Amino acid sequence: MSDDRDDDLLEAARRGDRSALETLLQRYEAQILRFGRKMCGNVDDAQDVLQETLIAMARSVRDFRGASSMSTWA
């Protein structure tokens, strides 16, 4: 699924496809971690930001309507 577009993965994740959700989360993991490091200034806190963000994304994927890009939403 790594070649799938975000829109396709998002639709599948909304329907309950765990593999699609996992692919989306993995796709944005590095970007979120970089943001966390800039925001927090250290790796441990950035890892916490990453974990909390991925959990929030997984819990709310059905509510995301695509009004913004996936990276903005993440």
Do residues 2 and 44 touch, judged by C-beta distance below 8 A?
Answer: no
Q: What is the pLDDT of residue 28?
A: 94
Q: What is the pLDDT of residue 3?
A: 57
Nearest to 6 by CA among 74, 55, 60, 56: 74
Q: State pTM to two decimals.
A: 0.82
Angle at 5 between CA 36 and CA 26, to 5 degrees: 35
Q: What is the pLDDT of residue 41?
A: 93
pLDDT in tens, the chain (74 residues): 445 798 899 999 999 999 999 999 999 999 999 999 999 999 999 999 999 999 999 999 988 877 778 888 87
Distance of alpha carbon 39 from alpha carbon 45, whole angstroms: 9
Tell me 42's DSSP state: S
